[in-house]
Amino acid sequence: MSPVGSTVSIVAVSGGVTAPRGFTAAGVHCGIKARGLDLALVVAESLSSAAGVFTTNLAVAAPVIVSRQHLAASGGRARAVVVNSGCANACTGHAGLEVARLMAAEAARALGCDAEEVLVASTGVIGVSLDPRTVTDGIIRAAEVLGDAGHADAARAIMTTDPFPKEHAVRVETPGGVFHVGGMCKGSGMIEPRLATMLGFVTTDATVAPELLRRALVDAAETTFNAITVDGECSTNDSVFALASGASGVTIGEPDYELLVEALRAVCQELALGIVRGGEGATKLVTVHVTGARTYDDAKQAARAIANSLLVKTAIHGGDPNWGRLVAVAGRCGSAFELSGARVVVGDTVLFEQGRPFDERAPEAAAHLAGRDVRVAVDLGVGGPEDATMWTCDLSADYVRINAEYRT
Amino acid sequence: MSPVGSTVSIVAVSGGVTAPRGFTAAGVHCGIKARGLDLALVVAESLSSAAGVFTTNLAVAAPVIVSRQHLAASGGRARAVVVNSGCANACTGHAGLEVARLMAAEAARALGCDAEEVLVASTGVIGVSLDPRTVTDGIIRAAEVLGDAGHADAARAIMTTDPFPKEHAVRVETPGGVFHVGGMCKGSGMIEPRLATMLGFVTTDATVAPELLRRALVDAAETTFNAITVDGECSTNDSVFALASGASGVTIGEPDYELLVEALRAVCQELALGIVRGGEGATKLVTVHVTGARTYDDAKQAARAIANSLLVKTAIHGGDPNWGRLVAVAGRCGSAFELSGARVVVGDTVLFEQGRPFDERAPEAAAHLAGRDVRVAVDLGVGGPEDATMWTCDLSADYVRINAEYRT
């Protein structure tokens, strides 16, 4: 193996979670939702290294509790992940924990492994019980149709209000051999991951020790799943799992750590941007870049505040280059800020600099905001060296409609 | 004077900022806005005690800078406040500061006092210059029509997207005499005051030393202007001013501090709730009460997070008693929280308690949410003694429409 950047290439390939060798997947309809696929399995041929990052919400859902326990009990090894949509199995008390354990046990029975080698995730409405017979039936049927081509159905089966499935995979060519990273995720509302995200599943056919995989997953998530926001919410169920089958024959050790992070990031970023593009009511992907910050935390705090600002998100929805709202958020977000040195750029157009507005350039900036992929950049004006990027979407009347009508 | 509660009564009266003796007011149209009143004066007959609390936004607007300087230079005394709507005079550089100083100087010339005895406030679009001749013309005309009845025009002249003017006044009867507190405010979007609010103006005819007035204003604001949110934003111009004319002949000293705070709070709370009721796109006033917190800060943090949650605000807009979203926000907000002890109440209906949902009661809770004044309460489940209240409004498609189209 060689370090990043020498003769390594990372190229996108098809195949989602089954692009890496050693994995099969399936998605079926079992009746948790009235219609549509609602149960997914991702299965490794043999016991694999496994890692997870989870929600920081203290109202933690049953499947998160069970997956954490299983990862600890197995020493960071897993054979499979079982996922349902249509029901979050959150705030469901002791009965909810029993159903989450049953899901692992039934998948283990179908696959011939220990229950502790199965990880569990759920997404959907909070506070509704998950019927044990329905989900058991789904697991049995999903296990029967596992295959290389199952990745697409699996990616559909984990959707709730998502407008489209989100998959990505890359092939990593190195002097030491070729390996793959694949993934799928879901998420549309209740999205502002802090140490986790909605549901994300990443596979690789590299051989990676569980502890190295965990560290790399945390690092890759920081600038991908943890750098997106749709509505500033952090769910009770947020989880990202990584499984490493080793089927490529390529071993990733400590010296290759940066390469591993880069490969995971390549997949996680595409998946994370897919969540934002498919955010509830979203019509635009907005890249928020903050520069000139004293510290990285200041940069990320300002980027997060801008990305969550209702006034910024509605202005962008309306195609309005309202730089004043960007300045106002930067000034209130708690990061070091100096108005006289601040700069606001929309697309490539500087609208405010050295205390002076350039409103005559507003039409140029408005033309940029009319597109679907838009960029805003704010320099905090204190001459610092740090920057950070967050991705968000605009806020539309459809967001309100979706969330005022979701449950009733 | 006597302590609070013995034989004191506080009753609502009409008259807004001129209900207290010793004040006149006016509101005129001078052309900052295309139509409608856009300039207000509130004037004390003689030099009065004055206090202000201001935005914590680091992108601070010119009128805030000037008012702070004038309060410091005058030792907490003022004769008048001059306010314009239609232009925030924020992010306008050196020229903006000059116009803010000119506003004070022109008002001082018309009233025959020092410029440092005039406070200044502006509200409207950020980054647009305020024309000196237009505003000077307005000040001269407003000074000509000052009167007791001018409070209503003044309250209209400070409006931007506000759907209605906000005034309130009370008469405070004590064994030591009768005094009044009156006020007006504006605010509809960019509302989440932290140490201040949009624009608020409170008058009293009690005699109060400047330092006592300042402390009481800060205390009264904490549970009123600082306990409301429309959209989680903190403006560049937020200011609340208090003027005490002493014209009632009643003197408030340190032993009467609690009475002073209570009287200010009576006016500030009505004004603050008016901001929320008139919040951009709002159809409901939502009272968020958090109980069982370990500390007051925990309680207020949780109440603020719930009051700012897009998912909570859209659910309430849709009349959906979605207690799961309330639990999810309480769990992620950073306050100590224990799911097994948590409780959610909508109106008077318990929907979640001791880890158990009561979805059969959802219709009763939905009936409560169909009203215009609605209440949600969350116990954090950790058995603490503290509680806090925040007021917010629902989030409607109209909010998006207003803010996507405000400037263009």
Model pLDDT for residues A94-121, shown as the tens digit of each residue: 999 999 999 999 999 999 999 999 999 9
Model pLDDT for residues A299-342, shown as the tens digit of each residue: 999 999 999 998 899 999 999 998 988 998 999 899 999 999 99
Find residues 205-234 of chain A whose CB sits inside 8 Å of chain B.
Answer: 231-234
With CB atoms and an 8 Å threshold, state whether A328 touches B57: yes
**What dihedral do alpha carbons B206, B209, B214, B216 form, nearest 10°?**
-50
φ/ψ (deg, to 5) at A8:
-100, 140
With contact defined as beta carbons under 8 Å apart, do B259 and B174 qualify? Answer: yes
pLDDT at residue B234 in the model: 63
- The SS3 of residue B169 is strand
With CB atoms and an 8 Å threshold, state whether B325 touches A126: yes
Q: Determine the Cα–Cα distance for residues B186 and A23; give it in Å rounded to an integer.
A: 61
The active-site residue, picked from A55, A161, A197, A389, is A197
Find residues 36-55 of chain B whose CB sits inside 8 Å of chain A.
Answer: 55
Min Cα distance A126 → chain B (Å) is 5
pLDDT at residue A6 in the model: 62
pLDDT at residue B132 in the model: 97
- Pairing label, strands B9-13, B166-174: antiparallel
Q: Name every chain B residue with its beta carbon within 8 A of the beta carbon of A407.
A: 315, 320, 322
Q: Which residues of B60-97 are buried (b: 16+ CB within 10 A; e: fewer)?
A: bbbbbbbbeebbeebebbbbbbbbbbbbbbbbbbeebb
Count H helices and E strands in chain A, helices first.
Answer: 11, 18
User: In Å, how far are A329, B64, B75, B234, B296 from B56, measured between CA atoms?
Assistant: 11, 11, 22, 8, 21
Would you give the end-to-end CA distance of chain A in angstroms?
Answer: 55
Locate B394 and state its tokens: 């629902």
Q: Name every chain B residue with its beta carbon within 8 A of the beta carbon of A189.
A: 311
Q: Where are the beta strands (DSSP E) in A90-176?
A: 118-123, 166-174
Residue A359 CB partners (closer than 8 Å, separation 6+): A351, B127, B128
Count H helices and E strands in chain B, helices first.
Answer: 11, 18
Asked whether the predicted pLDDT for residue A4 surpasses 60, the reply is: no
β-bridge partners, A180: A171
Q: Provide the pLDDT confidence category of residue A196 given band limits of 50, 70 and 90.
A: very low
φ/ψ (deg, to 5) at B3:
-65, 165
Residue B336 CB partners (closer than 8 Å, separation 6+): B293, B294, B298, B380, B382, B384
Whose tokens are 């990285």? That residue is A296
- A309 in contact with B, Cβ within 8 Å: yes
Model pLDDT for residues A183-194, shown as the tens digit of each residue: 999 887 655 543
Residue B53 CB partners (closer than 8 Å, separation 6+): B195, B196, B217, B218, B221, B239, B240
Active site residue A197: yes
Q: What is the mean pLDDT of residues A59-73?
A: 93
Min Cα distance A59 → chain B (Å) is 5
The active-site residue, picked from B136, B197, B203, B236, is B197
Q: Provide the pLDDT confidence category of residue A234 given band limits of 50, 70 and 90.
A: low
pLDDT at residue B300 in the model: 93
φ/ψ (deg, to 5) at B220:
-65, -35
Interaxial angle between packed helices A310-317 and A296-308, expressed in degrees from 0 to 180 and rounded to the nearest 10: 60
Q: Determine the Cα–Cα distance for residues B244 and B107; give it in Å rounded to an integer.
A: 19
- CB nearest A57 (choices: B93, B328, B400): B328
φ/ψ (deg, to 5) at B102:
-60, -40
Q: To probe the interface with A, which of B55, B308, B399, B400 has the most A CB atoms within 10 Å?
A: B400
With CB atoms and an 8 Å threshold, state whether A332 touches B57: yes
- CB nearest A400 (choices: B88, B92, B396): B396
Q: Where are the beta strands (DSSP E) in B21-76?
A: 23-28, 39-54
pLDDT at residue B195 in the model: 30
Find residues 58-97 of chain B whose CB sits inside 8 Å of chain A.
Answer: 58-60, 88, 90-94
Q: Which residue, among A51, A83, A48, has the nearest Cα to A165 in the 3D structure? A: A83
Report DSSP state, residue A18.
G
With CB atoms and an 8 Å threshold, state whether A403 touches B314: yes
pLDDT at residue B2 in the model: 43
This model of the complex carries an ipTM of 0.75
> A270 versus B399: which is more confidently predicted?
A270
Q: Determine the Cα–Cα distance for residues A289 and A106; give it in Å rounded to an integer.
A: 46
Q: What is the enclosing helix (H) or strand (E) of B107?
A: helix B93-111
Q: What angle do CA A88, A93, A95 make, to 5 degrees?
A: 85
Task: Count other C-beta atoms under 10 Å from residue B98's C-beta.
Answer: 15
Q: What is the enclosing helix (H) or strand (E) of A93?
A: helix A93-111
- CB nearest A324 (choices: B127, B330, B342): B127
pLDDT along chain B (408 residues), means of 10: 65 95 97 95 95 84 94 95 93 93 98 97 88 97 97 95 90 92 82 53 95 94 85 74 94 94 93 88 94 96 93 92 90 92 96 91 95 97 96 90 68
Q: Where are the beta strands (DSSP E) in B161-266?
A: 166-174, 177-186, 199-204, 207-208, 228-229, 239-244, 251-252
Q: Determine the Cα–Cα distance for residues A87 and A268; give it in Å rounded to an integer.
A: 24
With contact defined as beta carbons under 8 Å apart, do B174 and B8 qualify? Answer: yes
